[in-house]
Chain A
Amino acid sequence: MNPDYPGEVILAVDTSLGTAVSLVDADGTLRSQASAVDPLGHAEVIGDLLARALVDAGEGPVDHVVSGMGPGPFTGLRIGIAAARAFALGRGIPVVPVPSHHAAALTAIEHDRIDGAFAIVTDARRREVAITVFAGMDADGIPAVVAETVLVPRVDADAHLDGIRRIDVDTLSAADLARVGARALAAGRTLADSEPLYLRQPDVTMPGAPKKVGL
């Protein structure tokens, strides 16, 4: 364990795909995790998953909240970010924003032993996918991004990747999200903006001239 590491326990919350909550120690040891795979229903399950993960983790304070910032369907994604921020506010602890694809990348590297370049691919609705390309880990133990997250039409994804190993994910490990956050904290790095990774402008049509109703 890094002696400079400022905190002890990290809570991670992510609703970019299903709903995932986990607590890990600063060295990455799993304390608890609770998740629901349903890509909808985040608002309904987030409270109970949080409560359960806290109980399962046992006594003791939480020092940081890692919030998965997407990409993901906006409505669901926001629920986890709102819950993470409000939890942090309630406990008076900081929020550490982490791109959600980093969790999937860490799982691929450390759990599935994927070598070399690979792409994390998630559904982005509207017949598009979100793609982030990684290659191994950097010196801080954080998955190394070689191509930032982009939205690509689902049918063009393979052509876009041009042979890069493709890993499609539909669930995420909040524990791995927490671990990425722990390593970012230990290294004093910021991996994401405080703004969610929307990647799309709000869907609005500018009003034109009023429609004719006819006389």
Chain B
Amino acid sequence: MTEPLVLGIETSCDETGIGIVRGRTLLSNTIASSMDEHSRYGGVVPEVAARAHLEALQPSIDAALAQAGVRLQDLDAVAVTSGPGLAGALMVGVGAAKGLAVALDKPLYAVNHLVGHIAADILTPDSAPLEYPTIALLVSGGHTSLLHVRDLTTDVEMLGETMDDAAGEAFDKVARLLSLPYPGGPEIDRAAASGAPNAIRFPRGLSRASDLAKHRYDFSFSGLKTAVARWVERCEADGVEVPVADVAASFREAVVDVLVTKALAACADRGVPRLLLGGGVIANRRLREVALSRAEAAGVTVRIPPLSLCTDNGAMIAALAAELIASGRRPSTLAFGADSTLPVTEIQVDERALVG
């Protein structure tokens, strides 16, 4: 088969992503975000996100087709995120994907969002192909996961994930504590620019020896958030001005430290000298800097896809489906649903049984 032309639909959180790929070649990565609608609430509101997906889907598909210069009839397959993510948001994409696939009589591939983040890397033509195995650290407002990827289409293991808030959520919540707007990531970054990262020693979640035994690769950011809240309250109680720059820089350092430390620990433990970063929080410059310098010291090669492919997008979903097709996988049945807690081991959902 020539390289399959695939349209991917991603609606797991607040980005309506439509991507079109031909094999490993990116033709369009169209993203409509409802972030502005969530800003007044200080975080993603699932119902607001789902409403926005429904309105954004058709114009996004039209825009993606125009950019890619292809017609729907030309597609070899449709792909969609089945999970994990916000259930009501995912269902909009699933409904649309099924309607489109049935209308076109094309195969449909239901895939895993987290594995999609890894697949984003194969759409970068200028770099050498992704080597396996690799450790992957996926950090966004919706998830914080550490994966051991032995093969993109068949063998992905969840090493650890957040026990409470996602890292991106922690940035949003701490931004609010510091009276900074939503989304918190860029705001904390801006505030931290003039602060000292070691001014305040905030706790590193699940990093004590006693925690490491059970949660070596898991993350927790709620204790950190509470520590920041206490610090801010104490300043107010003492009548001193909150040193926003120092708090922001020290908070960010605690998050970055724990992310990078655990990711590199996984690399060392598993004997895997490769680390792939993904998810919207990778936009954080400090995270990239610390990851790159500490990985270099540890002899680990770091790969970071372009930011437009790190945030949630449909191109990564299409790319994963294209790889599944290339490896001979059959399409999904039409019976799958949205699974908000889809395990990472389910790279494709509901593959059709072999007939005959």
Contacts and interface: CB of A to CB of B under 8 A. Distances in A.
A44 B226 contact: no
B234 interface: yes
Interface in A105-149: none
A99 interface: no
Interface in A162-198: 195-196, 198
A194 to B, nearest CB: 9
B50 A86 contact: no
Given A47-B102, A51-B102, A196-B54, A82 B95 contact: yes
Nearest to B46: A202
A159 interface: no
Question: Taking each of A84, A90, A202, which has the highest tally of chain B beta carbons within 10 Å of its own beta carbon?
Answer: A90
A202 B86 CA distance: 15
A50 B233 contact: no
A83 interface: yes
Interface string A54-87: 1000000000000000000011001111111111
B334 interface: yes
B289 to A, nearest CB: 29
B98 interface: yes
B45 interface: yes
Interface in A192-215: 195-196, 198, 202-207, 210-215
A48 interface: yes
Contacts of A206: 40-41
B interface: dominant SS: helix
Contacts of A80: 95
A82 B99 CA distance: 7
Nearest to A81: B54
B199 interface: no
B50 A90 contact: no
Nearest to A11: B103
Contacts of B302: none
B47 A74 contact: yes
Contacts of A205: 41
A10 interface: no
A208 to B, nearest CB: 10
B337 interface: yes
A153 interface: no
Given A74-B88, A206-B40, A212-B233, A79 B95 contact: yes
B336 interface: yes
A87 to B, nearest CB: 4
B99 A85 contact: yes
A91 interface: yes
15 contacts: A42-B91, A46-B95, A47-B335, A48-B334, A75-B91, A81-B54, A86-B95, A87-B99, A90-B103, A90-B104, A211-B229, A212-B229, A213-B226, A213-B230, A213-B233
Q: What 10 A-B pairs come out closest when comparing CB atoms?
A: A90-B103, A47-B334, A83-B99, A47-B98, A86-B99, A82-B95, A79-B95, A202-B47, A87-B99, A86-B96
